[in-house]
């Protein structure tokens, strides 16, 4: 008889991105707290960050794809040569120490077959793992479409995201087949549930991101979360709008403006640029007087840690990515903290207004419970399947 349930998790655990690492941490930690032996399948395909292989270079229809791959290869090489080695080490140390990553890196679906032997449960999620990429399209691994010899292994999704409110019609037929192979489907945003219903004619449970599912990070914060007077600005993808907002907040409150440098930053630092590892990044949020961010996870963790924050919309062509943040803010009653354009008066009003954390925390608790209920149902199903195996 098995002593515990073994779960294999598939997500973007390898990215040097704070949000990606903390959603991975949250999901695994939740399972460990339930007594489930959860570990990440060390799937790290080359196409995600390194571009992957060129495709039919002579085909003019593949120009955009191959240019994307070339650019990604160039950026990856640049990071390897000029990237900050100390920060890179901090990310790697976090993966080993707090995510429990071990074993050889897996590049392909075939290499994973031995890794899933003996697993009772496979979980794909969270993050934007269901967003088609130019260089790969949809990846079957992130839908758990892995050939396995053993029977009665449960395959479920937990809070994956399509990355936006719409889904490319070119991938709908393939997505339908992949989604309908899952035993249970949950999604991170209500817009994603609509896509699942449209594409696969299937209902998906909307559940919170793993950072909210876990809900507490005391183990990582230790005694390093006393509020200071800093303004913490976490900008991703662009400094447009968010720079003006952060500088306005800093000017109004007189606190030091600090911002973590990202590996793909293409703008001058907003205030004092710093290079924290993942744990120190989290502690900076916890210590800040105000957090200003255009990142979903920067905002989600501000809510979890009950930090005064201003959520800044991504502008222009990146607007479609705002659906994740809007969905979260609507669900916890904080849409008034969302700004699409810089307006000094609106920023001043937000700084003067307080957040009703009692009400917000009740809403967050309800969200968390929806995620817990969904995952506990899957654990019960696995236990029943294991009992059936014993009786057979």
Range(s) within the chain of domains with CATH label 3.40.50.2000: 218-355
Where is pLDDT greater, at 244 or 388? 244
Residue 122, token pair as written in the block: 């496979």
Q: Share the mean pLDDT of the chain.
A: 94
Q: How far is CA 118 from CA 2, 10, 110, 139, 180, in A?
A: 10, 16, 16, 23, 23
% of the chain at pLDDT higher than 70: 98
Confidence of residue 82 (pLDDT cuts 50, 70, 90): confident
The yes-or-no verdict on residue 175 having pLDDT over 90 is: yes
Find the mean pLDDT for residues 319-340. 94
Residues 6+ apart with CB under 8 A from 162: 128, 130, 131, 189, 191, 192, 195
> Which tokens hold the place of 88?
């890179």
Q: Is the pLDDT of residue 225 over 70?
A: no
Instruction: Specify the CATH class of 6-214+365-391 in words.
Output: alpha beta
> pLDDT tier at 387 (50, 70, 90 boundaries)?
confident
pLDDT of residue 224: 61
Percent of the chain with pLDDT over 90: 84
pLDDT of 392 above 70 = no
> What is the pLDDT at residue 1?
37
Give the residue-averaged pLDDT of 176-201: 96
Least confident of 2-11, 102-111, 113-122, 272-281: 2-11
Residue 247 in this model has a pLDDT that exceeds 70: yes
Closest CA to 151 of 321, 340, 389: 389
Lowest-confidence pick of 5-9, 114-118, 135-139, 234-238: 114-118
Place of tokens 């400094």: 239
Phi/psi for 232 (5° steps) reads -100, 120
pLDDT of residue 369 exceeding 90, the answer is yes
pLDDT band at 238 (very low <50, low <70, confident <90, very high): very high
The CATH architecture that domain 218-355 belongs to is: 3-Layer(aba) Sandwich (3.40)
pTM for this entry: 0.94
Interatomic CA distance for residues 294 and 233, integer angstroms: 9
pLDDT at 337: 98
Rounded Cα distance between 374 and 185, Å, is 10
What whole-number distance in Å separates Cα of residue 325 and Cα of residue 93? 29
At residue 303, the pLDDT reads 98
Q: What confidence tens digit (pLDDT) does each residue in 251-266 have?
A: 999 999 999 998 778 8
């Amino acid at each position: 008889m098995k002593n515990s349930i073994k779960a294999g998790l598939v997500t973007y655990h390898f990215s040097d991105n704070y949000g990606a690492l903390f959603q991975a941490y949250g999901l695994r930690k939740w399972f460990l707290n339930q007594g489930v032996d959860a570990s990440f399948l060390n799937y790290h395909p080359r196409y995600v960050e390194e571009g992957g292989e060129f495709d039919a270079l002579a085909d003019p229809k593949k120009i955009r794809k191959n240019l994307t791959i070339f650019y990604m290869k160039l950026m990856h090489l640049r990071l390897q040569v000029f990237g900050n080695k100390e920060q890179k080490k901090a990310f790697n140390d976090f993966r080993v120490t707090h995510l429990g990553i071990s074993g050889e890196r897996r590049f392909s679906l075939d290499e994973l077959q031995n890794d899933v032997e003996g697993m009772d449960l496979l979980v794909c999620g969270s993050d934007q793992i269901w967003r088609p990429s130019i260089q790969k399209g949809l990846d079957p691994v992130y839908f758990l479409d892995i050939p396995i010899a053993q029977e009665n292994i449960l395959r479920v999704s937990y809070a994956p995201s399509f990355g936006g409110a719409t889904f490319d019609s070119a991938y709908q037929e393939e997505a339908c087949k992949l989604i309908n192979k899952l035993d249970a489907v949950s999604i991170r945003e209500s817009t994603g549930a609509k896509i699942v219903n449209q594409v696969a004619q299937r209902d998906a449970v909307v559940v919170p991101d793993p950072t909210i599912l876990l809900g507490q990070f005391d183990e990582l914060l230790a005694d390093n979360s006393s509020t200071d007077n800093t303004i913490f600005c976490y900008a991703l993808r662009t400094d447009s709008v968010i720079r003006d907002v952060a500088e306005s907040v800093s000017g109004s409150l007189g606190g030091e403006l600090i911002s973590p440098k990202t590996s793909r930053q293409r703008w001058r630092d907003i205030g004092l640029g710093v290079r924290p590892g993942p744990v120190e990044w989290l502690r900076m949020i916890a210590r800040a007087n105000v957090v200003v961010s255009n990142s979903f996870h920067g905002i989600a963790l501000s809510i979890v840690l009950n930090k005064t924050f201003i959520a800044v919309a991504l502008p222009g062509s990146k607007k479609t990515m705002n659906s994740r943040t809007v969905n979260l803010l609507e669900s916890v009653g904080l849409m008034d903290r969302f700004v699409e354009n810089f307006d000094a008066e609106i920023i001043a009003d937000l700084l003067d207004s307080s957040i009703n954390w009692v009400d917000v925390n009740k809403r967050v608790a309800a969200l968390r419970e929806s995620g817990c209920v969904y995952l506990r149902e899957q654990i019960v199903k696995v236990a029943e399947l294991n009992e059936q195996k014993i009786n057979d």
